[in-house]
């Protein structure tokens, strides 16, 4: 994505980040010591928020959560969040963590769940009806995490450790999850270390904490859960979605709904910084501090790598280089270097098929792919061992990608998406220029291709039905896009018309006007 180019001395003020919504999640455990297990589930491939990620049961607070009485708790807010946690756990897994529930039959629990999900009764009414009580002592607070502002869907989530009540067995009860099950925390952490799964930072922290010693005294376990400042609402800045790939979102004047651009720090010993894009000094300083820390720890910055030339991806390059004493090389595609001739010095060209070898334990090898479409010089990077694909702005974790002439080309873009598709099934994760990592590469890539082809078909149909200018076409086709974004949509339509013209399906019919060609004309 790219915002309107800021003039040299006037960087636009950052837009407000999305306000986090209250939510609660449950770290459901069973068993003791080494043999203890935690329940997790994989979010559906097609979920817009963290699709394909492993997660704990949980969700957003609803208005009625404050109505449920909670014993042993004199804080009304905490009580509402415990009620939210219990309700979400029940709705999503069928586990009812209420006192008295062990006297219910499976059939009664099922009918209770049915009454709740059909909204015949609120959770509070149901509990009262069956004489059940929530008790705060069954919900151990183990952290409060806030989704970083790089996502337009943000949650301020309270995590509670809950022992699975005897005789109850969790089972996926929601379309949000594809599958779920008990896992030993050490095994779960092992899956993450081998880059086989993706989890959000609080879930990673939880499985790590449990893996490090679930046998500890309960107080000790809670202390370790709360030992990181992010578990006490401090901002999560470094998101290690998969080992060796740390996402460091920085605030940028980018295109809505994004407010941030992802910089990536990739590598274990040798590392590269990809797309340091913030023009804001505080954000540049935060990234520089992280890089300093890595270097102080004995790691070596190989170079700064650019996916493409848009200002929201490169505005922090020269400041970072200057901060590091000027000696760091910048590498990009030749066409990106050309586009940046006046603002960023590119020292090394990266071409299709080039490899960036990063020594370390384990080593990483990024294979460059020239993937034009969003811009002519756009690069992507594929890492074979971790099956990771860095896709820059060709696919993003939120919003959609703008393809506009003259840099953007729908034909090239579809070809680049087609190359990503060819890499499947050897891709586990996509790292985009904005938003969270994507643990559902197949669904994402197919969705992007389908979306583009559908737009093209609709634009062609609009022209065949008589719409002749980009404005008229936008009016008919972009009915899902707010009027504020219509100017941007018109440029996207132009990119499509360019391809349709090359395909000889439309032709120019005078100044800024287009007409359908061939037999299909109505």
In the complex with Zn ion, which residue's Cβ is closer, 2 or 50?
2
**In the complex, minimum distance from the CB of residue 148 to Zn ion, in angstroms, rounded to a whole number:** 20
The one segment of 1-9, 53-61, 252-260, 267-275 that binds Zn ion by CB under 5 A: 1-9
**In the complex, minimum distance from the CB of residue 499 to Zn ion, in angstroms, rounded to a whole number:** 19
**In the complex, minimum distance from the CB of residue 292 to Zn ion, in angstroms, rounded to a whole number:** 27
In the complex with Zn ion, which residue's Cβ is closer, 310 or 452?
310
In the complex with Zn ion, which residue's Cβ is closer, 208 or 310?
310
**In the complex, minimum distance from the CB of residue 406 to Zn ion, in angstroms, rounded to a whole number:** 14
DSSP code string of 56-93: -SEEE--GGGGGS-EET---HHHHHHHHHHHHHHHHHH
**In the complex, minimum distance from the CB of residue 6 to Zn ion, in angstroms, rounded to a whole number:** 14
**In the complex, minimum distance from the CB of residue 310 to Zn ion, in angstroms, rounded to a whole number:** 3
Instruction: Round to whole Å and give the CA distance between 352 and 369.
Output: 5
**In the complex, minimum distance from the CB of residue 351 to Zn ion, in angstroms, rounded to a whole number:** 20
* Three-state SS letters, 389-420: EEEECCCCCCCCCCCCCCCCCHHHHHHHHHHH
Is 173 near Zn ion (CB under 5 A)? no
Residue from the set 88, 393, 407, 472 that interacts with Zn ion by CB under 5 A: 393
Instruction: Return the bridge partners of 380, or none.
Output: 369
The one segment of 2-10, 117-125, 452-460, 502-510 that binds Zn ion by CB under 5 A: 2-10
In the complex with Zn ion, which residue's Cβ is closer, 383 or 393?
393
Contact 335, 377 (CB under 8 A): yes
Contact 355, 368 (CB under 8 A): yes
Instruction: Return the bridge partners of 144, or none.
Output: 158, 232
DSSP code string of 333-370: -HHHHHHTTTT----EE--TT-EEEE-SSS-EEEEEEE
**In the complex, minimum distance from the CB of residue 313 to Zn ion, in angstroms, rounded to a whole number:** 6
Query: What track of x and - describes contact with Zn ion for positions 483 through 502 (by CB under 5 A)?
Result: --------------------
Give 46's contacts (C-beta < 8 A, 6+ positions apart): 440, 443, 447
**In the complex, minimum distance from the CB of residue 392 to Zn ion, in angstroms, rounded to a whole number:** 7
Contact 296, 326 (CB under 8 A): no
Number of residues forming the site for Zn ion (CB under 5 A) = 3
Q: List binders of Zn ion among 277-316 (CB under 5 A).
A: 310
**In the complex, minimum distance from the CB of residue 388 to Zn ion, in angstroms, rounded to a whole number:** 20
Is 275 near Zn ion (CB under 5 A)? no
Instruction: Round to whole Å and give the CA distance between 349 and 140.
Output: 54
Contact 361, 267 (CB under 8 A): no
In the complex with Zn ion, which residue's Cβ is closer, 95 or 263?
263
- Asked if residue 406 has a cis previous peptide bond (ω within 30° of 0), the answer is yes
In the complex with Zn ion, which residue's Cβ is closer, 320 or 403?
403
**In the complex, minimum distance from the CB of residue 361 to Zn ion, in angstroms, rounded to a whole number:** 33
**In the complex, minimum distance from the CB of residue 255 to Zn ion, in angstroms, rounded to a whole number:** 8
The one segment of 36-44, 87-95, 298-306, 385-393 that binds Zn ion by CB under 5 A: 385-393
In the complex with Zn ion, which residue's Cβ is closer, 294 or 332?
332
In the complex with Zn ion, which residue's Cβ is closer, 208 or 255?
255
Query: What track of x and - describes contact with Zn ion for positions 33 through 62 (by CB under 5 A)?
Result: ------------------------------
In the complex with Zn ion, which residue's Cβ is closer, 386 or 409?
409
Helix axes 201-211, 218-225, angle to 10 degrees: 150
In the complex with Zn ion, which residue's Cβ is closer, 93 or 307?
307
The one segment of 169-177, 284-292, 390-398, 405-413 that binds Zn ion by CB under 5 A: 390-398
C-alpha distances in angstroms, 337 versus 306, 341, 345, 407? 9, 6, 7, 14
The one segment of 33-41, 114-122, 386-394, 513-521 that binds Zn ion by CB under 5 A: 386-394
In the complex with Zn ion, which residue's Cβ is closer, 32 or 342?
342
The one segment of 71-79, 229-237, 242-250, 388-396 that binds Zn ion by CB under 5 A: 388-396
C-alpha distances in angstroms, 49 versus 104, 139, 154, 438? 35, 26, 10, 9
In the complex with Zn ion, which residue's Cβ is closer, 188 or 250?
250
Q: List binders of Zn ion among 309-328 (CB under 5 A).
A: 310
Other C-beta atoms closer than 10 Å to the C-beta of 376 total 20
Residue from the set 2, 358, 369, 459 that interacts with Zn ion by CB under 5 A: 2
The 3-state DSSP class for residue 289 equals: helix
Contact 478, 486 (CB under 8 A): yes
The 8-class DSSP code of residue 215 comes to T
Give 34's contacts (C-beta < 8 A, 6+ positions apart): 214, 215
C-alpha distances in angstroms, 520 versus 185, 465, 509? 61, 10, 16
Cα 416–chain centre separation: 21
Give 75's contacts (C-beta < 8 A, 6+ positions apart): none
Instruction: Round to whole Å and give the CA distance between 61 and 43.
Output: 19
**In the complex, minimum distance from the CB of residue 307 to Zn ion, in angstroms, rounded to a whole number:** 8
Write out the residues near Zn ion by the rule CB under 5 A: 2, 310, 393
């Amino acid at each position: 994505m790219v915002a309107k180019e800021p003039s040299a001395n006037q960087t636009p003020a950052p837009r407000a980040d999305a306000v986090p919504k209250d939510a609660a999640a449950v770290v459901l455990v069973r068993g003791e010591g080494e043999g203890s297990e935690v329940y997790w589930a994989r979010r559906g491939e097609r979920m817009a928020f963290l699709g394909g990620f492993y997660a704990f049961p949980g969700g957003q607070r609803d208005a009625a959560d404050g109505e449920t009485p909670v014993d042993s708790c004199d804080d009304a807010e905490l009580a509402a969040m415990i009620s939210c946690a219990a309700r979400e756990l029940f709705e999503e897994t069928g586990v009812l963590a209420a006192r008295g529930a062990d006297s219910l039959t499976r059939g009664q629990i099922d009918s209770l769940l049915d009454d709740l999900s059909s909204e015949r009764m609120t959770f509070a009414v149901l509990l009262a009806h069956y004489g059940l009580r929530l008790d705060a002592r069954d919900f151990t607070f183990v952290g409060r995490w806030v989704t970083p502002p790089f996502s337009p869907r943000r949650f301020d989530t309270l995590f509670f450790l809950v022992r699975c009540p005897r005789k109850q067995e969790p089972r996926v009860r929601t379309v949000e999850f594809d599958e779920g099950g008990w896992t030993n925390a050490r095994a779960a952490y092992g899956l993450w270390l081998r880059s086989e799964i993706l989890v959000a930072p609080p879930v990673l922290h939880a499985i790590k904490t449990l893996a490090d010693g679930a046998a500890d005294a309960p107080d000790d376990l809670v202390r370790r859960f709360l030992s990181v400042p992010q578990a006490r609402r401090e901002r999560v800045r470094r998101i290690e979605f998969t080992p060796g790939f740390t996402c460091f979102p920085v605030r940028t004047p980018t295109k809505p709904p994004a407010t941030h651009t992802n910089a990536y720090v990739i590598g274990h010993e040798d590392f590269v910084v990809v797309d340091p894009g913030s023009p804001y000094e505080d954000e540049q300083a935060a990234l520089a501090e992280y890089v300093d820390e890595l270097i102080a720890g004995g790691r070596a910055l190989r170079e700064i790598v650019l996916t493409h030339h848009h200002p929201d991806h490169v505005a922090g390059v020269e400041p970072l280089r200057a901060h590091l004493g000027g000696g760091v090389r910048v590498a990009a595609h030749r066409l990106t270097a050309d586009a940046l001739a006046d603002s960023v010095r590119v020292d090394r060209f990266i071409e299709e098929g080039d490899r960036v070898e990063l020594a370390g334990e384990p080593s990483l090898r990024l294979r460059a792919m020239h993937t034009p479409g969003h811009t002519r010089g756009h690069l992507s990077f594929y890492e074979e061992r971790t099956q990771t694909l860095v896709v820059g702005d060709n696919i993003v974790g939120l919003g959609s990608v703008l393809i506009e002439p003259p840099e953007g080309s729908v034909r090239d873009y579809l070809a680049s998406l087609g190359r990503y598709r060819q890499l499947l099934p050897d891709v586990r994760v996509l790292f985009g220029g904005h938003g969270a990592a994507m643990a559902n590469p197949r669904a994402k890539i197919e969705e992007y291709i389908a979306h583009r082809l559908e737009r093209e078909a609709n634009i062609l149909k609009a022209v065949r039905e008589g719409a002749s200018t980009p404005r008229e076409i936008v009016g008919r086709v972009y009915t899902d896009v707010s009027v504020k974004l219509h100017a941007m949509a018109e440029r996207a339509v132009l990119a499509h018309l360019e391809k349709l013209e090359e395909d000889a399906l439309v032709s120019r019919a005078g100044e800024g006007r287009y007409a359908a060609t061939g037999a299909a004309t109505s």
